[in-house]
Structure 1
Amino acid sequence: MERGDGAVKERLSALFVLLAAAVPGLLFAPVFGLWPLVLPIGAVLVGVYVAVELGLRVPALVSWRPLVGLVLGLLAVTWTELGATTAAGIPTGSTFRALADGVTRSWQLTLQSTWPARPDAQLILFIPLAVLVAAVLGVELRRWALAALAPSVVLLGLSQAYLAMSGRDAVLAALGFALVAGGLLAVSREAREHQATRRVGALTLIAPTVVLAVAGALVVTWADPVTPAISLRQNQSVPLPQARYTNPLDEIAERKLKPAAPVFTYRSDAPVELWRITVLDRFDGATWLPSQNYRWMGATIAPTGAVTVPVKEFSATVQYPHPDGPWLPSQLLPYAVSGVAPLIDEETGVLQLNGKPAGPVDYKLSWREPVISGPELNKRGIDAHAESGLGGVGAIPPTLSDIAEKAVGNRRASFQTASELSRFLSKNYRLATGKNLPTGAGLPQLQAFLEQSHIGTSQQFAAAYVVLARSLGIPARIAVGYHGVPPGPDGISVVHNDDVFAWPEVAVEGVGWVPLDPTESAKGATSKSSGGLAAAAAAARDSLPPPDQLEDPELPPTPQASAAQGGRRSIEVPWVVVAVVLVALILLVLFSVPLLKVVRGRRRRRLTGARGVVAAWTEARDLLRAHGVPVTSGMTVRELAEAARPFGDSLHAALLRLAELVDAVLWSGGAAPPEAVPAAWASVKQVRKGLAGRGARHRVRAALHLDSLRPLGLPTIVGSRASAGRLPA
């Protein structure tokens, strides 16, 4: 019987260890999504449990259990994630190389990806491998329950270092891990009864502390939802290959000389205004350069917090037969790409491959576009917190600053000011045509364009606009790409060299980056009737009053002004936080206290001989303590029976029979008869039956009575054997 109980305890402790390893593995869900993690993690845990079961059935395998668990776990990872590298399910050299990459590279590739990341094996592999290590180590350390939890705690810290949870999810995760840890402590093979009771106080303090700590994170999130969580992902980007490509901004004039040459084709579900190839936001006075903050494109990209207006979603399939560089036609806010695995700069929406492609590229692009009208745009301020657009522009000649002031006067920076600057350039400068097109976008070329020739390509228009806008405090940058074009009879739009275009973009509060066209060269799908963001910007410019009638838009009220108008701002109580914490603590009490009493009772029932009879007496004593009977460690069984007389004659009689059994086994001079222990526990059963007649209120209060878990010491029994400490409480 004891051997069977030992096997059950082995299995239970192994299951709790495996669950403890699974919880932090599943907490990588914000990185990959939940369901891509379930199968590989579940398969790994099954493999490790099979190793535990083999050790129970074949004792000779116990010493080999760690190796068996690792092998079965690696096979589980192979069959769930690396099936394509196997030969009929048998690992190959490619499999072992992929597993090695899972240890050395996949964790880093994940940090260099947008989230949720693509659940590809080359990225996700490190998670089931980490769960495997935590599970195998935990199983082998089960003799020391806290040590068995240590590998899972380390993995838990790693998951939170990738992306720390907060709010309700953090509370639920903490509760789940605390319950699993409590279960492991309760069935730990090393824990004896008195050790378990000593841990009760610690357990009932640790679990609520964990809950309250995570609830504190929820309060912080509620109080300051803007501050992002700290993550290892910060400042991580993909190192780009050292290859030289012609800057697309410098190719505009050359492409205009071969206007009929096709570049790429696309089929879209709505008219497309602009296709971007690259965005240039760094300028030293001579050269415009793009940012280099690229990540691997994940499964999807969540909407950016900078855009608070409504958005629409669009998609298009793109065929790019002869790419001139690594860049792919893209949009401002792409959120999904299929057909290729590109890099993305999330701030600019630029897509590019990791190196120049060797052949044609076909892919599907899905993107979001803000929806706002022209008049509403003119009411918006600029976004002073934009991550780019306010960099240096070199030493601007005073004459260029004079032109900027002439264009907008002394008005403060806003989208209306930005729109007026675009109108100024479109009215006073002309778009160059013909074969002798001007080139260059450094300060000398821009000074010649703005002060002398007044004629330039979109390259000079866009660069001049950005320099003037930044001198006025307006965040601006250059985008280079192509005009969208109407589809042909077959529904396919063909983009040619003649559609090449450079345009400025300004950062608008709540809208994001808005494209402007100071050349007024919009055509085809980029007409004012297309309804896109570029069309809204054109409508905003057309709705401006004459320059001498322009007025600054009203500023939104500051928090101080709002407080002054509305009195002292009251702080709303986060009732959701309070409710979650209270419910969590109630569940902890309702679950942990009765469970620990059940576990303690089962431990006592497994004792035999005189120890088993005394354990039955101790159980009866603790039952009466929970129901309010005043009990001291010096009371005898008969004294307790007299104290419990108000609970009924049957209960009193059961305690007297138990007293006779205790005296008999302790003073018989020989071993306790086999029937003594069952008879003692039968008396305990009668005590339970007598107490069950009390009202529901008394029974619930007794079940949750925490003090009855406190060790009271050994009961006093006539004689010296118990007081000598040989018998357990």
Structure 2
Amino acid sequence: MSSLSSRGRLTTVAAVASVLSVLPLFDITVTRDWIVAATIAVVFVAGTGYILRRVDVPGVLVPVAQLAVLVLWLGVLVASDVAMLGFIPTTDWATRLVDVFREGVDVTNAYVAPVPVPRGILLLLVGGAGLVALLVDAIAVWLRRVPLAGVPLAACYAVTASVLVDGLDWYWFIPPAAGFLALLVSEGRTRVAGWGRSATPSAAHSGIPETDSLARNGRRVGAVALAVAVAVPGLAPVLTEGLLGPGQGGGNGGGQTIRTDNPIVDLQRNLQRRENVEVLRYRSSADEPNYIRIVTLDVFDGEEWKTSDRPVPDSVENGLPWPQGLQEAEYPVVDYDIRVTENLSSSWLPLPYPTQAIDIEGDWRYHAETLDVVTNSGDVRAREYSARSLAPEPTVEALRSAGSPNSAVESSLDLPEELPEMVTDLADEVTEGATDDFSRAAALQEWFRGPSGGFVYDIEAQPGHSATALEDFLTERRGYCEQFAATMAIMARYLGIPSRVAVGFTPGDYQGDATWLVRAHDMHAWPELYFEGLGWVRFEPTPASRSGAAPDWTVVPSADDPNTPAPDPSQPSTQPSLSAPDVPREDDTAGGTTLPGDEPPSQWPLVLLGVLAAAALIAAPSLYARFGRELRWRQAGDDPALTAEAAWADLRETVREAGLPWDPAATPRAAARALAESASLGQEDRALLDHLVGAIEQARYARQAQPVESLRADTALVRRSITRSADMTQRIRALLVPTRLRDAAAAANQTLLDGFDWLDATSERLRESALAVGRRRP
């Protein structure tokens, strides 16, 4: 068998194994047609490697070329419209790749499996498959360390197993395991074929060559698979769930507790997405729009707003409880017919507040304090249901005369022990002179919305509610609904007003026939403040450019409080405008929401950080080798024999890194003669080399080794001359993969193989012992 055909077979098997290894990802994606693009990526990577090795391109450059081809293919998938001739990179092409990659990362943080496959996820899937193929090709075909190829082949299986809350079905292990086994067998047969037919006892017994080799490989595959199965779930980080994913159940039956991670992180992604997809439609019996709420965030831990741990023992079948804090009386009732599209996947049920009755199929349960409705065994996607909601109409007078909050809402005043002084000082300053909770809340809202605060709605602002994020928001006065809602709720709690943050949608666009259409860009956050007798009341601190006019019950009439501005007279109606006006999107403004004179943030810090990270990654192997040499000399100390051996070890490593022959069985004098010829050393270098040979011979053969002056310095000079004799490719390889690193990897691999051999031998001895015992029995 020629080396060319052997290499071609191994390349092909490595590519097939790579494709098989990504199949478990089917279990975390809604559609599976991405496998076509992923397979093409694998073919490109494998084909590039085969062709370049066939024309004798230096091995260290092949992965670089494969990576370049993979990136070009990703560009064809997501950025062909901004590339020359559809594939030649441009500046916009690179920017598009970065943007799409970020989109994919955001989707992984926001959705729970199975996830849709927009272009961001497609980029991650295809890029991941290509990287797996690149690593497998480099390890198995270039380095010929086939057992180590099991690590990248197990990557996709490990990722899928760590993402799925309920675990991964056992049969998804079969494709990557089959690919790994095929790779081992192919490599094993290639090696054995060079020696002829196997003469092992198993072969003599069965007549099948390579039986022992195949059995050993099978056992080793099983051992590696077992290690991965045990270690990965404990070591791999589980991706947190976002807004549009189900919570985790804390048990079964009536006492279960559902916990969902912070959903507010989903806001910016939906507001920035290019595709303003339809989310839901609702029809109102009152022919009036309303905010549609998904979930309420009632805990602030100093870093983020999130949901509390909530017992949800009761089903919605028998109706929902009376809204917390709302005085029992007759209120208008509005019926809603709601139809959710395929684009919204959530365990939370979108509803108007405060809903009192729901007609929906499935096991849906409510949280009494918030009236949030959630399921632990289903999804709202493509559902149709009806809801009946109260329509209380609070007034300024009623809010102003509300009594003190009762003890049931004390937890809605909880704040971390230390808030930034800027937050508390501004809250005191803005509400100075206000004599009741409502006046303080209205003053805060007007400060965020009006000219006195100087705030600007900016969808590109950094999210977050930590102390630093709050100070940045209050200093720069730029943000989107998340920052406005979260900051007002924090200030309200500081002022003694119970508060929380609601996440949902603005009313959407009127479609006629009492129907409204809600899209992804309508996602919104707003604070709800508690007033005794009126319950939880919606306020709107987000500027009017996004949210329209504030609810009329939240604005203090100018006649009552001359210090508080009246509603903007330019508004067409005194009624609250519930439809959010159009906000410029990234695709409309070619770069997000910006104002005249604003400059986008410089990308140079990120570029510099990336360059430094790449430099550190490249320098790490050589630093490891240098540290090893330094440690060797330190351990030698002043011992003449040990220092001579350290010098000889340095020389040996340098010769191998230069790609020169080194015979470990040769005497020092013979090795030096061969080295002087192969490296074309000059007279001075030969004299230094003779000096080193004398030191190592004395250390090994003399009764008592004597100290050798300037041994380390002379060794360094010889090593420098040998390094200069190597070509550039060899120098790059020595930099990236120094001899010391290769020796350490080979030693680790040999230790692993020795362990497997010991297990094989032990099992064989145990089997023979058992057979012998059985034969002795009558």
Normalised to the residue count of structure 2, the TM-score between the two structures is 0.36
Say which structure, 1 or 2, has more relative contact order (CA 8 Å, 6+ apart). Answer: 1
Q: Which has the larger radius of gyration?
A: 1
Normalised to the residue count of structure 1, the TM-score between the two structures is 0.39
